[in-house]
Amino acid sequence: MPAPAHNLPSPNALRVVRAGLIGAGIAASRTPRMHIEEGRAQGINYAYELIDTDTMTTAPDIDTLLTQAQARGLDGVNVTFPFKRTALAHVDEIAASAAAVRATNAIVFHNGRRIAHNTDYSGFSMGFLRQIGARPHATALLLGAGGAGGAVANALLDAGVHLLFIHDKDAQAVKTLAATLDARLGLGRVRAVTDMRIAAAAADGIVNATPVGMVKQPGTPLDMALVEARHWVVDIVYFPLETAFLRQARALGCHTIDGSGMAVFQAAAAFELFTGLAPDPDRMRATFDSFT
């Protein structure tokens, strides 16, 4: 007579998945625990390591870091600042999600090949649409044109923003991103800006997609005198979750959106890429929120 169903082992009980996160200054990342706890909930032996170049005496280049991760038998890696763009030059295949934003935050290792994906786009989009509600968002100011900025720019323009102002201290990065967006969406949707006063005055909301506000780069990404109570303000930084930018914007009366939504949804999509299993985003959110 067959054993009762509740005594049967999980169909994933023998699965072993190994992944990691490559970046600089990532000791406070909540990503490993989200992956590990979701793996445990699905019966997977899931290991997730931090590959933090800030802890290395001499940091290897991204190609070496990827080669080392493959040699250790990892199934894939997440990639964060400052490698999201440079990693694309060191993969064998670029999925449509990464090609669209010209950056990767998730690289799958399969049969000796490296396949670059981007889950930042979907992660930001899902978090933003859940929290922006009916607030006007036809015009927005985006701070940051790097790897995360490219994903956020595409997501904002696909989420109802008709005119996107983009600013970055690297003028060439803005020019490159704007050209990519023009090619995909047509002219007139994007403007590179240097005068932050004019852009902020015209925008319904402001998004920080720079590293400013992270533990290792404290501060605000723009002069807070330019922020008004009518603005909605988004910060994709999530460690700390309460950045100086969000705290000061909230004190002005702004509706604020923190980086938790993007962090959770991008992690959920990456989990599926690494395991082939559909995650439970609510369960991963609960893990994210369990940090003190």
Q: What is the mean pLDDT of each run of 10 residues along the chain (292 residues)?
A: 51 82 92 97 97 94 98 97 96 96 96 97 96 97 96 97 97 96 96 97 98 92 98 94 97 97 97 98 96 72
Asked if residue 81 lies in contact with residue 211, where contact means CB atoms within 8 angstroms, the answer is: yes
Distance CA 250, CA 170 (A): 28
* Active-site annotation holds for 175: no
In the chain, CATH 3.40.50.10860 sits at: 5-118+262-289
Which pLDDT score is estimated for 215?
A: 84
Q: At what angle do helices 147-158 and 171-185 cross, to 10 degrees?
A: 30
Q: At what angle do helices 260-275 and 281-289 cross, to 10 degrees?
A: 130
In the chain, CATH 3.40.50.720 sits at: 121-258
CATH architecture assigned to 121-258: 3-Layer(aba) Sandwich (3.40)
The class that CATH gives domain 5-118+262-289 is alpha beta
Which pLDDT score is estimated for 291?
A: 83
The model's pTM: 0.89
Which pLDDT score is estimated for 8?
A: 47
User: Which residue among the candidates 84, 169, 175, 216 is catalytic per the annotation?
Assistant: 84
Which pLDDT score is estimated for 10?
A: 56
Which pLDDT score is estimated for 85?
A: 95
Residue 238: other Cβ atoms inside 10 A: 23
